[in-house]
Structure 1
């Protein structure tokens, strides 16, 4: 059976993506063609939280925000964020470590509570992104329309969120067959709507019980559910857009991935994106001094607790071998790195 590492690091294919086996895609929510009802639902899940995010500033300025609401926002934000970064991304997509069954379930559920789509769909899209990174076939490259300023602006919009409305979707059977065959991941992926409801309902439930009031529940829903989801969405999408359009490139990669330091804390270490594309299966993305990577820290704690093992920690010799020559301009070694990647 194909491993996450194999699927994420295979050189770009030249043939068209084959159709999935009968019933495989439908078993994980969503086929290869996005229906109109799916596009409407997606639009609502993007627009409603975003409106709340925009309204958050004047509301906080005029009426203030309680410590309970802030605590709920922060707690559920980092629960979902680490569910995506550690679970959906580093574990399920790239196989950066092995997890015991309870941890596997917990990571799948935590990632689903980020409300970024079903597990199998998310992983399939991301594996395809790595296979065709910033080239034809990449689902969300900001360089899709060219390198002029108008083309890049259009491309940034596409990479940030417009790509999600494309009617054609990534074949799940091709890019995530291992997850489709696993009853645990297949079941949790199909339960995406359930975990979305849980994610949105828990903050107002806690807020209402803590304050014993409907007003407390409504306030918690606004901050802990809507604002939190919108903030997490746009931080995650910024890795697709901003981190592929700008940032430092200390490592050799076959694409335009860059490190964007000011996104590091909110992205739980994902914005050290250049190293990730240079070494996709590495469990730590921020490998240089002072590069904050909370996801890697949690993986270390999980390893010490015995919940995960066989972690692919960065080796100094391997990291040094992937560094760009400091006397060259960023991107000069991209062709060389692409050859090495394909080999």
Structure 2
């Protein structure tokens, strides 16, 4: 089954979270002249794969399943050609990364408007012209520190760009690494319920409040994820204080904090259960919608049944006519038999042939 999350076509300019804004797969762009793209790879997007300056004409890029984000600056949209096959997990069901819906523009907030090394372009061009002029070698030597300084500034800008993506990951997105087992189990329940509502037929047909769902469900998912991540962090912090070597007074204090933590868990569980009830109602509405459509289909065929009933009336009228024909046939058979008997009697009354 293919991964379908994300936009298609994908805008030519912007930064997009993989699995949220852009689906993994092979993308094609019809015109990329002078543009570029960057894939931020790894769980935190701390590594990059860059295209360099793209030539005139079409280009393609493969966004991998394990990528964190994809940044692009080209003049035409990217169109998905081949979705990446979903990875078959032998272990636990994977969590989707959750992004803060209040982040202005989503991943667009991470957009870097200028390409790496673009600022150094004019300086490099000037240096090339100077080197081409043999009489100006001294000027070229003098310009070299300027160019090196420009390259250093570009490198610093690129580093800041990666830092921005990493800060956005920490502050505005949560992934599997942010949850412990208990939090992961609850987060999976919430994501299953949200997916069931989104994928329901009544939601796709706009019979539910699809606009409200588009706003409310991502916010619910993010708020639940934030609470569960905090709970996971607090449980991890409490673990060292739960051993037998800890003084009783400390254990008592931790026990009180643990109870407050459990209250929070119960509260977020009730919230998740409300989402699950919503999903159950959406699925029940799907069943009702299917039944309604089946009834509509039957109603559309009702005239055929009416015609069949009319044909039945005609059949009843035809029965008497057929019975009359049958009686006439019987009478004809009796007449024929009588005539045959008379013929036989007449034949018997004939005198025998002379010897």
| Shorter-normalised TM range | under 0.3
Q: Tell me: higher relative CO, structure 1 or 2? Use CA pairs within 8 A at least 6 residues apart.
A: 1
Structure whose residues are more often strand by fraction: 2
